[in-house]
Structure 1
Amino acid sequence: MTFIKNLPEAWQEHWQASGFSEPSMIQEKSFQPLKEKENVLGISPTGSGKTLAYVLPLLLNVEKDQGSQLLILAPSQELAVQISQVVRDWATLLQLKTQSLIGGANVGRQIEKLKKKPEILVGTPGRVLELIKTKKIKSHLLQTVVMDEVDQLFHEKELNLTKQILASAPTEFQLVFYSATADRVVEEAQKLTDQLTIIDVMDEDQSGGVVNHYFMALSPRKKSDFLRSLAYTSDFRAMVFFNQVADLGSVEEKLIYEGLAVAGLASDQNKTLRKLAIDQFSKKRAVMLLTTDIAARGLDFEAIPFVVNAEVPLSEESYIHRAGRVGRMGAAGSVITFVNDATKRDYQRLMKKIELPSKEIFLYDGAIHLTRKEKSSSEEKAGSPNGSAKKEQAEKQVPTKKTAKPKNRPKNNKNKGARRKSSKPEL
């Protein structure tokens, strides 16, 4: 019997109103161990519903008006904000309070809200540790600490902050880890607790939709032109990833100048501009979100049909997490990577390592095609004495329907790329 039938009635109604059907495998397998306060490491594909997998059982263990009992850590501001929104939706139905604690936001306001004794805290390690050290967070009350996208939190800098947070909390508390990759995660998690239940559904989970992987050969100078052409194909909406902030800014500036509805999201922006970019893309006011790996993890936008890598990603991990923005919870999607003569072999090696098949595609006549463009009749006449040629040939297309212009450009383009000067890869 699925655990949904045993949830509070208000939650069952919210589950149905949200359009959910059966729980995903990671949600089903996580519920009872987390509810029974076991230390859990959950590993499942991107887009398989990991957030609700831990949020629902853990919220049921939280007691109203008993101080901050549940702490959820995330590696980025954007992910922390998104998690807090999900938590708040469900916690409010149980009359529980949620507080987000992220860097870049006004710390004074966060301290004021902490005085209302929220039961659930969601934040980034730096800001959470700052508030613990100033005794604004009463860490002795914490009963459960969750690390979402834990492979990122286990990077050297973040791991040091996380360990300090854990050291400030009482010795007896529940530890929960969730990730889409098992690399290093199991080993590091076991260093923090010797009693760990590992729930790995990577090979069993079937919740992901069909994702096709394509590459497109073009000159590096033609990125803006090809992105503009893609934007004018019908039903095109994409997250476009860059390795370097400077390249992102340059392309963004060109596309905005040409009147395209795009938004840019990068680490050199303040909280307001980041939120503006996310809102523009979420509300479909922008046809493309130009970003870096800052948005490759956790951020969930409804039914994105395309991810475009404006250049070959720097690692397999980067490719997998970027590709994970499509094919979420059964939705189909496509990943397109721009390659050139210098990077095509890098792309082929990358795809071989992660064992994903890919095909070359071509952009012409306002659509994406799996075959090269046939010569026109005039071209045939120029190259053939009798001028005889097949006028038409059936050709396969990546489904994009007919040409259509993107919708209105964003009203606020303050986050233009001209500000971005860093040329270092953003990891």
Structure 2
Amino acid sequence: MSWIERLEPQFREKWTFEEEMPIQSKMIPAMLDGRDIVAESPTGSGKTLAYVIPLLMLVDGTSKKTEALVMAPSQELCMQIVEVFREWTEGTDVTVTQLIGGANKQRQIEKLKKKPTIVVGTPGRVWELANDRKLKMHDIRHIVLDEGDQLLGRDHRTDVKSLIGAAASDCRVAVVSATITDEIRLVAERFMDDPLQLKVTAEELPKQGEVTHSFIKVDERDKTDLIRRLSHVEGLRGLAFINNTDQLLMKESKLKFQDAPVAVLHSGMNKMERKQALDGFRDGTVRILIATDVAARGLDITGLTHVIHIDVPRTEEQYTHRSGRTGRAGADGEVLSFVSYPDEKTYRKLTRALPGKPVQKVWHKGSLIEGSSKTVQAASSGKPAGNAGKGQRNSKQKEGNKGGKRR
């Protein structure tokens, strides 16, 4: 029997997708059967619904207890998860509250007094409220760690483990992420009961978009100006990543002075500032949204044409998470990296697992074109470029998911 047939009628009516995603087929029955789970599945492959649906089946909205906790590393991801829950709980007794840093704590305490069925929050704020005995952890029977590799990383690990230890003795735990390292897997297994290991690869996903991986060689001092130029390219909608907040703020100041249609997203912003940045990006007022990894984790923005690595990622996991923002819902996309001379070796390592060599591009006459500065000069002069463009070919990585919404 399919897990869809096990759904209660009010939830079955809300299932409007043509087909289930692989992670949903594997994870939903396992959660309904009471298993602890460590699940790895590509970005945009339907992980959110893979735990939202079984949680709604497992909790009792009439119990007046908080029975489930979902944690995520960023405020934006928490808000997205809450939106999905609210869409699916409409017309039911199940209630949902978000507990995120940067929001009014007293207001959250008042909401907890009403005993919401499910809470979704960032680990720091959840720990504060649990430590103050405002969130009754002993009632919680289900915990999900979304972007579990970050939540079980060194920054959040102690708080997360303490919260799990304070939950009900029969609490079931699910850890989900696009990348699960051996270290994270071992950490997770220490507080889980014989966890089921699930893994979905990009090749298993239906209707995948074609993602071109490309790079442009640029000096560090010229990166801001290149972002400014790209922000004026018609039809481009890019999510750009930078490695640290200080550099982000410097670039923001220069770009705003130049009236470039860009916005920024970082952990130091309050809830309203974040919302304004995201709203501007979603409605098209802003063409490029520049973010740090923490701020952009889990963001689900439809219609992205580009992911831009202003700074080359430090690890393959970073490259995977960032790049997975584009090429969703069967649409094509491009992952463009700004590569300065010191980063060339790192970039080659990060992209060596791709099915082909990344495409080199250059800025020429108001747009990015394939080639190098040598090939452009040769084309302009009418002379052959020699070996300048030798070995360049498109590298297309199949990614994405079926359907136009986060699932």
C-alpha displacement of 1:224: 2.4
Whichever residue aligns with residue 190 of structure 1, its letter is: E
Structure 2 match to 1:53: 50
Find the aligned partners of 1:228 and 1:204 in 2 and give their Cα distance: 35
Structure 1 match to 2:404: none
> Are the aligned partners of 1:44 and 1:202 in contact in 2 as well (CA < 8 Å)?
yes
Structure 2 match to 1:286: 286
Whichever residue aligns with residue 194 of structure 1, its letter is: D
Structure 1 match to 2:196: 197
C-alpha displacement of 1:261: 1.7
Structure 2 match to 1:324: 324
> Are the aligned partners of 2:78 and 2:120 in contact in 1 as well (CA < 8 Å)?
yes
Structure 1 match to 2:212: 212
Structure 2 match to 1:348: 348
1:36-73 Cα offsets, whole Å, 9 max, x none, are 22111111111101011111111111111211111111
Structure 2 match to 1:185: 184
Structure 2 match to 1:333: 333
> Are the aligned partners of 1:44 and 1:205 in contact in 2 as well (CA < 8 Å)?
no
Structure 2 match to 1:307: 307
C-alpha displacement of 1:106: 0.8
Whichever residue aligns with residue 49 of structure 1, its letter is: G
> Are the aligned partners of 2:73 and 2:294 in contact in 1 as well (CA < 8 Å)?
no
- The 5-angstrom pairing of residues 100-115 of structure 1 reads 100-115=98-113
1:104-128 Cα offsets, whole Å, 9 max, x none, are 1111000111122110010112211
Structure 1 match to 2:21: 24
- The 5-angstrom pairing of residues 93-242 of structure 1 reads 93-183=91-181, 184-202=183-201, 205-207=204-206, 208-242=208-242
1:74 pairs, out of 65, 72, 75, with: 72
> Are the aligned partners of 1:149 and 1:178 in contact in 2 as well (CA < 8 Å)?
yes
Find the aligned partners of 2:89 and 2:296 in 1 and give their Cα distance: 27
1:185 aligned counterpart, secondary structure: helix
C-alpha displacement of 1:152: 0.7
1:184-235 Cα offsets, whole Å, 9 max, x none, are 2321221112321111112652244221110001222222222222222221
Q: Residues 150 and 227 from structure 1, CA distance in 2 versus in 1: closer, same or farther, beyond 3 angstroms?
A: same
| Structure 1: gaps (5+ residues) | 384-395, 399-427
Q: TM-score, normalised by structure 1?
A: 0.83
Structure 1 match to 2:376: 373
C-alpha displacement of 1:310: 0.9
Q: Residues 132 and 341 from structure 1, CA distance in 2 versus in 1: closer, same or farther, beyond 3 angstroms?
A: closer
Find the aligned partners of 2:159 and 2:297 in 1 and give their Cα distance: 20
1:261-289 Cα offsets, whole Å, 9 max, x none, are 21111122222212221222223221110
1:131-181 Cα offsets, whole Å, 9 max, x none, are 122221122211111111111111123110011111211211111111111
Whichever residue aligns with residue 131 of structure 1, its letter is: L
Q: Residues 23 and 357 from structure 1, CA distance in 2 versus in 1: closer, same or farther, beyond 3 angstroms?
A: farther
1:63-117 Cα offsets, whole Å, 9 max, x none, are 1121111111112222212211111211224231100011111110001111221
Structure 2 match to 1:252: 252
1:129 aligned counterpart, secondary structure: helix
Find the aligned partners of 1:217 and 1:297 in 2 and give their Cα distance: 26
C-alpha displacement of 1:363: 2.1
The percent of aligned pairs where both chains have the same amino acid is 37
2:126 aligned counterpart, secondary structure: helix
Find the aligned partners of 1:235 and 1:120 in 2 and give their Cα distance: 39
> Are the aligned partners of 1:242 and 1:290 in contact in 2 as well (CA < 8 Å)?
yes
Whichever residue aligns with residue 236 of structure 2, its letter is: F
Q: Residues 350 and 268 from structure 1, CA distance in 2 versus in 1: closer, same or farther, beyond 3 angstroms?
A: same
Find the aligned partners of 2:288 and 2:317 in 1 and give their Cα distance: 23
Structure 2 match to 1:85: 83
C-alpha displacement of 1:375: 5.4
C-alpha displacement of 1:313: 1.4
- The 5-angstrom pairing of residues 30-45 of structure 1 reads 30-45=27-42
Find the aligned partners of 2:138 and 2:130 in 1 and give their Cα distance: 10
Whichever residue aligns with residue 151 of structure 1, its letter is: D
2:341 aligned counterpart, secondary structure: coil
Please provide the CA RMSD for this pair.
2.5
| Structure 2: gaps (5+ residues) | 384-392, 396-407
> Are the aligned partners of 1:368 and 1:397 in contact in 2 as well (CA < 8 Å)?
no
2:226 aligned counterpart, secondary structure: helix
Q: TM-score, normalised by structure 2?
A: 0.87
Structure 2 match to 1:410: none
Moved more, 198-207 or 331-340: 198-207
Q: Residues 157 and 226 from structure 1, CA distance in 2 versus in 1: closer, same or farther, beyond 3 angstroms?
A: closer
Q: Residues 157 and 373 from structure 1, CA distance in 2 versus in 1: closer, same or farther, beyond 3 angstroms?
A: closer
Whichever residue aligns with residue 50 of structure 1, its letter is: K
Find the aligned partners of 2:329 and 2:19 in 1 and give their Cα distance: 11
C-alpha displacement of 1:292: 1.1
